[in-house]
Structure 1
Amino acid sequence: MANTIELKQQIAQGEYDAAFAKLYGADAVQEQRKRYTDLIDEFEKKYGTNRTVRLYSAPGRTEIGGNHTDHNNGVVLAGSVNLDMVAVVSPNEENVIRVKSLGFDKIDDVDVTNLVPQPREAEHSASLIRGVAKGIVDAGGKVGGFDCYTTSNVLRGSGLSSSAAFEVCIGAILRGEYNNNDMEKFNQVKIAQIGQFAENVFFGKPCGLMDQTACAVGGVITIDFKDPAHPVVGQTAIDLAKHGFVMCISDTK
């Protein structure tokens, strides 16, 4: 782990270039260096300098085939996209999760000692934070407070699952900060299921599991929902670029 000043230095020195190239493409490295550095700057303005921090990200997703078949025990072909939510995170000792998102004035402020759905939070992002925390606890994990600043270029209301990316990112943060990044107890599918639970029970939207699974697992995947409690996820060997295909996303408003 590094403090905010050290992390910005590491990014400037290219220590994250390989990760940026893998996530966003080699031609996007300089852009992502600036994006992440700017986000750390915003974190410092809100929460102070020299805080020990970690970086987290979760992508948006699109279905390639099988739209809504997850509601009918069907099979989906889905893929993550190179638009994502990024978070700079530092744990606190207050049992309060604070999430400030770039471009939004309000801050979500959730006391994780209270993991009961709050009617006033329904259909708001605070409900997703509380719901993910509840899902982690129900699965035998630990939760605690953290201060977080996020940015997202997953277009809202576009069908790219900005809410699922948010849920998956919060789940990954709680796994990393309070559960030793336990990938056995909280694998990617489990994080996806916790995100769905938060959206169904706390947010109040009866979504399926395809969105969260595609965001959590990443890449181009197949998902068989014959048993919704135990979806069978497969990583495909399809190289879309090799066959001349590219996913084009148009912001039509």
Structure 2
Amino acid sequence: MSALFSELFAAIPAAVARAPARANLLGEHTDYNDGFVLPTPLPYLTTVALGPGPAGMIEAHAARFGETKTRALDAPPAGDWLDYVLGCVRVAMQEGAAVEGVRVAIDSDVPMGAGISSSAALEVATLRALREWLGLEIDDVQVAKLGQRAESGYVGMPCGIMDQMVSSLGTPGQALFLDTRSLEYRLLALPANHALAVVHSGVAHRLTDGGYRQRRSECEAAASALTVKSLRELDVADLPAIMALPEPLNRRTRHVVTENRRVLDGVAALERGDAVEFGRLMVESHASQRDDYNVSLPEIDALVETALKHGALGARLTGGGFGGCIIALVEDPASWWPAVAAEHPAARLVYPR
């Protein structure tokens, strides 16, 4: 990346940093409800090199798209990839960072439209590079919080904090159990003698089409109707009151409450090394996303069924939904994948590569 930056801008970068993508094992659509999540980082990386640039301006090059964009630091979002970078620069400036102008070079092998959080990887990598360049006294949790603030406040995507936290704090090969209300977290070993497989359905994941915002709004309406600050305050004992809500608020809330319970049960299963139980929880999670939260698609459902038919202990939609990937718990991805691929020619194995 230093070479790319030097080629583009005839200067040596002041800092280079990277951050990974992620897959979520359990805990979908719970993070913006102050709930529990259980993601893991994936070995796909976004790398950012940056240094000083023209006063009042950001000049950034994305190698993946082969394009360079220039914008004023005080410009509004334009609906493109530069928004994520500029949003991070702006929140850093709000925290007191002295940025007069900045040049940025970006490269990434994170698959786009897969629902494995290319945006959080870009945000965390950018903020890490800014931290190194400017000597910012922010820890990895603060990096995640600033990344979320950039995406929600500047980009305009009202995301939870799960993606930024696992990109900033996760360890490859381990799950990150995160309480999104307190931001307490711990790392857990994944099931022994099993592996994760992430498969792209062939349908691009796109949260910005409105479904995500609608689900979040429905959760807020349900919390208001039940007179709680967030759906995190509810448990399975509250299901009779939850199901008395009007459609679809009742089912949206049931998903969040039962998904929080599945994360806690999944953590217990990981702690005792119970891969079979963890797989069962993954299957339950998918059914809840499909039937109660309505974020799955027929192509995703069929892929999950095929994954299970060919021996996966568990499989589910991962990410925000409306396309993207499934994640499966299997004994051996190399022997499992050919049978799945034969039935789903549009699908592709994202991980392991």
* The two structures share one fold, judged by TM-score above 0.5: yes
Q: Please give the alpha-carbon distance, in whole angstroms, between the structure 1 residues aligned to 2:14 and 2:167.
A: 23
Match of 1:213 in 2: 165
Q: Please give the alpha-carbon distance, in whole angstroms, between the structure 2 residues aligned to 1:108 and 1:231.
A: 35
Q: Please give the alpha-carbon distance, in whole angstroms, between the structure 2 residues aligned to 1:79 and 1:144.
A: 36
CA displacement, residues 197-227 of structure 1 (integer Å, 9 cap, x when unaligned): 11112112111111111111121311102x3
Match of 2:107 in 1: 151
What's the TM-score once normalised by structure 1's chain length? 0.70
Match of 1:232 in 2: 184
Shift of 1:169: 1.3
Shift of 1:94: 3.1
Matched residue of 1:248: which SS? strand
Match of 1:138 in 2: 94
Contact 2:5/2:13 (<8 A) preserved: no
- Across the aligned residues of Structure 1 and Structure 2, the Cα RMSD in angstroms comes to 2.3
Amino acid at match of 2:94: D
Contact 1:214/1:221 (<8 A) preserved: yes
* 1:1-253 matches, cutoff 5 A: 39-48=1-10, 51-92=12-53, 94-112=55-73, 114=74, 118-119=76-77, 121=78, 123-178=79-134, 180-182=135-137, 186-219=138-171, 220-225=175-180, 227=181, 230-234=182-186, 236-238=187-189, 240=190, 243-253=192-202
Contact 1:108/1:125 (<8 A) preserved: no
- Consecutive unaligned residues of structure 1, counting only runs of 5 or more, are 1-38
Distance 1:66-1:47 versus aligned 2 partners, 3 A rule? same
Contact 1:143/1:174 (<8 A) preserved: no
What's the TM-score once normalised by structure 2's chain length? 0.51
Contact 2:58/2:71 (<8 A) preserved: yes
Q: Percent identity?
A: 25
Contact 2:20/2:41 (<8 A) preserved: yes
Q: Please give the alpha-carbon distance, in whole angstroms, between the structure 2 residues aligned to 1:96 and 1:218.
A: 33
User: Which of the two has higher C-alpha Rg?
Assistant: 2
Match of 1:16 in 2: none
Shift of 1:52: 4.8
Q: Please give the alpha-carbon distance, in whole angstroms, between the structure 2 residues aligned to 1:61 and 1:90.
A: 27
Number of residue pairs matched? 199
- Consecutive unaligned residues of structure 2, counting only runs of 5 or more, are 203-353
Contact 2:58/2:103 (<8 A) preserved: yes
Distance 1:134-1:43 versus aligned 2 partners, 3 A rule? closer
Q: Please give the alpha-carbon distance, in whole angstroms, between the structure 1 residues aligned to 2:33 and 2:159.
A: 12
Amino acid at match of 2:169: V
Q: Please give the alpha-carbon distance, in whole angstroms, between the structure 2 residues aligned to 1:72 and 1:140.
A: 30
Shift of 1:64: 1.4
Shift of 1:189: 1.6
Q: Please give the alpha-carbon distance, in whole angstroms, between the structure 2 residues aligned to 1:42 and 1:55.
A: 11
Q: Please give the alpha-carbon distance, in whole angstroms, between the structure 1 residues aligned to 2:126 and 2:165.
A: 14
